[in-house]
Structure 1
Amino acid sequence: MTTNQDAPVIDREISLIFQGDWGQANLHRICGWLAQELGDRCAPGSRFGIWSGRGGADAVHAVLAHDVDAALLTPVAAAAGLPAGTGPLAVAGAGRLRALGTLPQRDRLVTCVDAALGVSRMSELAELLPALRIATSPDDGVNLIGAAAHRQLEAIGVSAARLDEAGGGFVYSERPFPAIAAFRDGTANVLIHEAIMTPAWQRVTERKEVTYLDVDPAVTEAFARWHWPTATVPAGYLPGLAHDLTALEFSDFLLVCREDLPDDIAALIAWCLVCTRQALEVQYRHLPADRSPVTYPLDPRAIATAPIPLHPAAEETYSALGDGADASGALMWA
């Protein structure tokens, strides 16, 4: 096994299981890319599988349970509290997790309301509980959108129990697009979700005026205890957004494994992440870079970062590669 920019090989058969998303989104595409690139550089007879997952806390659970060898989750901010033992991913045994790399993707968790509610600050939602129909994801111990949305709501006094008692309610969906549609069509009058680069978000103003709510100071404080930062959505990025919006950071895909993943496999994955990155990038270049669900061009220095310790062999590989010349060869989607 080498860590230079010459194509490395593993001269034995290996079997490796990745976990991605439900099957049609970015995490699965990343798993497929890596499986093919690793397969090209391992002994004949090597096998690679991709399990469907949800891209949330289930990634951590599956890796720690030895159900899979590596898994992707998003956002990376959800893992920022792990070194301190806090946050939505702080589970028993999390100290055995290691990062293999980060795939950059710019996203935010945005709170948007029907302008007819007449609110301009997030804290004002607590005064309108009977009227609220909030479209987001469930807080079920796995979905990190739901975990973040509910923590945000609780910080401003809108707990699920209080909302239910007052006669308000939630419109839940696992993925963003049913929730965005429910808000656009009027089933919900509050939307808390991510995937803001997608066309669905550009349609939220088709049938009504909307107001985007900046993160409340109480929310910032609650998430600081999870080491989870806020970030900006620039004015004009979303329809009707007239000011730079402060929202919860919801960027990037984190690839995690256990500390016992063999060194040569960890090193080869890191090499592929850097040196075959164009094979992934090219699948998104039909989209403007700032509207792509994978931010390109992929930055090798960003790939080599993580909020938890890198697998030592991956870290060594990144150090040796630096900016890493691309070795993708003939690209399927070029």
Structure 2
Amino acid sequence: MVYDDRSVKPMSASLMRAKIATRLLAGLYEDVPTLMTSAVRLMVEMPGSSRQAGPPYPFTFAVSPAWCSGIEGARLVGSRKLDIVWLNPSVIATMAYLGKGPFRRSSPLRALAVFPSWDRLVVAVSGKLGIRSMEELKEKRPALRVSVADNDCVNFAIRALLKVHGLKLESFTEWGGAVEPVVRPSNPRRREGIISGEIDVVIDEGMDSWGQVALDHGMVFLPFSEKALAKLERYGFQRAPLAGGRLKGNIPESTVVVDFSGWPIIMHASLPDELAYHMAAVLDRLREEIPYDSAQVPPMSSLCRSTEDGPLNIPLHPGAERYYREHGYL
């Protein structure tokens, strides 16, 4: 089957339907997110099942936070069960590309772009406990009510973080406490528990959702030891200061934790260059119209290179890189 772009009108029936369908999808996400948030996959299909050499190209683009934006998403792209995935955070893409951490072998991943999203993985404790380090927490073994993340983006990181400190989630129940998992860091029960003082410890990322509330209500963010950070770096993580970010308050400069920034859009290396090139072009055209997890609209040059808020440590897809270079962004 041969396709010719000249036969496609500026607003043909297929383009009209595609535009309406994607706006309906976005509208549902805005109005009733609980119906959509764990199930969104955009798909371009062709008659038959075989891939062809030229356009149009069949592909899948998954954007679901709870389903495939973490470890599983990187694995699905690496195995070509999905073509394009939006990951959170950037370090997952790095680990998958290098074959580090939870990935036993390297995956042929490439980046279309990386979106800014400043974040940290932290352990916050009630100031009333008088605990100021992970080592002191382990030594005192207090009975605590712990709010902890439970999703594919962060589960592996929390396990690794606790392990390098000689702990595990079960440690808190063994000490006589309770662990309350939440899928999203913005869970209202967590926020209410921080304000009321019923929650003693929070282990999570998503600082914009709960970090400032915790700081305002006397919680203390524990620094990670040099020994623990070195182990985490060998695993594939990067250290980062907590101070100087989005939280406003008294945070010691010595509070060094784990970086959890960046939302990279990744794709399989075998995806056609032409498709990646034009996706980068569309992103460029829409850049000032789309939402960001940042105070300002980022320049296009920051979406195709590593920044503090959007680390990028895997190669760009050759098609996307060609677009960025041709237009002076690299």
Common topology (TM > 0.5): yes
Cross-structure match for 1:269: 279
User: Structure 1 residue 87 and structure 2 residue 97: aligned?
Assistant: no
2:177 alignment counterpart: 168
Contact 1:180–1:201 (Cα < 8 Å) also in 2: no
Deviations 1:214-235 (A, max 9, x none): 2222331121113321222336
Among 137, 158, 162, the residue aligned to 1:153? 162
Given the superposition, is the C-alpha separation of residues 242 and 47 from structure 1 closer, same or farther in structure 2, using an over 3 Å criterion?
Answer: closer
Deviates more, 1:64-73 or 1:224-233: 64-73
Question: What is the alpha-carbon distance in structure 2 between the residues aligned to residue 99 and residue 47 of structure 1?
Answer: 16
Distance 1:263 1:137 in 2: 37
User: Residues of 2 paired with 1:11 and 1:232: CA distance?
Assistant: 55
> Structure 1: how far apart are the matches of 2:6 and 2:85?
21
Q: Does 1:102 align with 2:114?
A: yes
Q: How far apart are the structure 2 equivalents of 1:102 and 1:228?
A: 17
Runs of 4+ in 1 over 4 A off after TM superposition: 9-15, 22-25, 46-51
Distance in 1, matches of 2:173 and 2:96, equals 32
Matched, 1:131 2:143: yes
Matched residue type, 1:73 = L
The Cα of 1:209 is off from its aligned counterpart by 2.3
Alpha-carbon RMSD: 3.7
Which of these residues, 193, 197, 200, is aligned with residue 204 of structure 2?
193
Among candidates 241, 248, 257, match of residue 258 of structure 2:
248
Contact 2:114–2:304 (8 Å) recurs in 1:
yes
Tell whether 2:124 aligns with 1:112.
Answer: yes
1:56 is the counterpart of 2:70: yes
Provide the TM-score with structure 1 as the length reference.
0.71
Kept in 1, the 8 Å contact 2:229–2:239? The answer is yes
SS at match of 2:162: helix
SS of the residue aligned with 2:154? Answer: helix
Aligned residues: 282
Counterpart check, 1:204 vs 2:218: no
1:299 aligns with 2:299: yes
Q: 1:51 to 1:83 in 2, by over 3 A?
A: closer
Cα gap change, 1:11/1:117 in structure 2, threshold over 3 Å: closer, same or farther? farther
On the 8 A contact 1:129/1:168 being kept in 2, the answer is no
Classify the secondary structure of the residue corresponding to 1:177: coil
Instruction: Give, in angstroms, the shift of residue 74 of structure 1.
Output: 1.0
The aligned amino acid for 2:83 is D
State the AA in 1 paired with 2:300: P
Return the alpha-carbon distance in structure 2 between the equivalents of residues 146 and 189 of structure 1.
Answer: 20
Whose Rg is larger?
Answer: 2
Is 2:194 the counterpart of 1:183? Answer: yes
From 311, 315, 320, the equivalent of 2:317 is 311
Superimposed CA distance per residue, residues 284-314 of structure 1 (whole angstroms, 9 cap, x where no aligned partner)? 5xxxxxxxx2353313333213322221111
| Shift in Å, 1:70 | 0.8
Please give the alpha-carbon distance, in whole angstroms, between the structure 1 residues aligned to 2:234 and 2:221. Answer: 24
Q: 1:257 aligns with which of 239, 262, 267?
A: 267
CA distance in structure 1 between the partners assigned to 2:227 and 2:182 by the alignment: 26
Query: TM-score when scaled to structure 2?
Result: 0.72
Aligned residue among 222, 227, 237 for 2:236: 227
Aligned to 1:320: 326
Q: Is the 8 A contact 1:80 1:226 kept in 2?
A: no
| Structure 1 residue 10 displacement after superposition | 10
Q: CA offset at residue 96 of structure 1?
A: 2.3
- Tell whether the 8 Å contact from 2:116 to 2:262 is kept in structure 1 after alignment: yes
Alpha-carbon deviation of 1:23?
5.1
The residue type paired with residue 323 of structure 1 is Y
Identity %: 25
Give per-residue Cα distances to partners, 1:45-87, cap 9 Å, x unaligned: x998756342211221332344432111111123333343212
Structure 2 CA distance, aligned partners of 1:118 and 1:155?
22
Residues 210 and 240 in structure 1, CA contact (< 8 A), matched pair in contact too: no
Residues 169/230 of structure 1: CA separation in 2 closer, same or farther (3 Å cut): same
- Structure 2: gaps of 5 or more residues: 9-13, 44-54, 306-311
CA deviations 1:247-279 (Å, max 9, x no partner) are 211111011111221221111112223343111
**Residues 134 and 222, structure 2, Cα contact 8 Å, conserved in 1:** yes
- What is the letter of the counterpart of residue 127 of structure 2? A
Cα deviation digits, residues 15-61 of structure 1 (max 9, x gap): 9xx9x9x9569xx99xx9x99xxxxxxx99x9987563422112213
Partners of 1:119 and 1:10 lie apart in 2 by 68
- Structure 1 unaligned spans of 5+: 1-8, 36-42, 285-292, 325-334
